[in-house]
Amino acid sequence: MSQDSVAAIIQRSEECMRHAEEALGHDLAAIRTGRASPALLDRVRVDYYGTPTPIPQVAAVTTPEPRLIVIQPWDRSIVGAIEKAILKSDLGLTPVSDGQVIRLPIPPLTEERRRELVKMIRRRIEEGRVAIRNCRRDAIEDFKKLEREKKISEDESRRGQERVQKATDSAIADIERLGQRKEQEVLEV
């Protein structure tokens, strides 16, 4: 039983860390750089028959040019609602519509806005680190609890904690790389 519970704790902590990494990846994808990306609209919700729905679920979102996003709603009656949702969002973009298709030109970023985005990226990276450390803390508490209950030995607990620490170091290194790539993307002129 002891090996099963140790393996389960390690697996649970690694899964928790993987979820934290994925969440951070989605957060960073939504940060606007100087290039057009359909991921920018993933968090923008439009009121579709009374339900807040992400734009990619009600329209085809494409990037035909590096600085242009084209949104083609499947239901033309929601063109106005999509425009309002984009204007209300924190993207800072102005939609241009012809009644059937919405175009979102992506203006180049100012130096000041780039610095703000880098600060935001660093803040999100730190939040990711905290989430990963929380996963580690929970796993270590589980090991100590099993050790106190005499279900595993002190050595098994220590080995399990070391494996969780290695997973933590690896996950933090991964999110650091994610953050560095996003910062380079934002600072690229």
Which one of 105, 127, 151 terminates a domain? 105
What pLDDT, in 10s, does the model give residues 121-136?
999 999 999 999 999 9
Structure tokens at 144: 């100590």
Which one of 105, 140, 156 terminates a domain? 105
Which one of 87, 105, 123 terminates a domain? 105
- Whether 180 and 130 share a structural domain: yes
- Whether 130 and 101 share a structural domain: no
- Whether 81 and 100 share a structural domain: yes
Task: Find the CATH number of the domain harbouring 122.
Answer: 1.10.132.20
| Cross-strand bridge partners of residue 171 | none
What pLDDT, in 10s, does the model give residues 19-77?
999 999 888 887 766 677 788 888 889 988 888 889 899 999 998 888 889 999 998 88
Cα angle value 21/23/25 (rounded, 5°): 70
What pLDDT, in 10s, does the model give residues 173-186?
999 999 999 888 88
Alpha-carbon torsion (56, 59, 60, 64), positive or negative? negative
Q: How far is CA 46 from CA 33, 36, 38, in A?
A: 22, 20, 15
- Whether 150 and 59 share a structural domain: no
Give the closest residue to 160 by CA, choosing from 2, 17, 19, 21: 2
Give the closest residue to 48 by CA, choosing from 38, 58, 60: 58
pLDDT at 170: 95
Q: How confident is the model at residue 1 (pLDDT cuts 50, 70, 90)?
A: very low
pTM exceeding 0.85: no
121-156 burial by CB neighbour count: b if 16+ within 10 A, else e? beebbeebbebbeebbeebbebbeebbeeeebeeeb
Q: Which domain holds residue 162?
A: 2-29+110-187
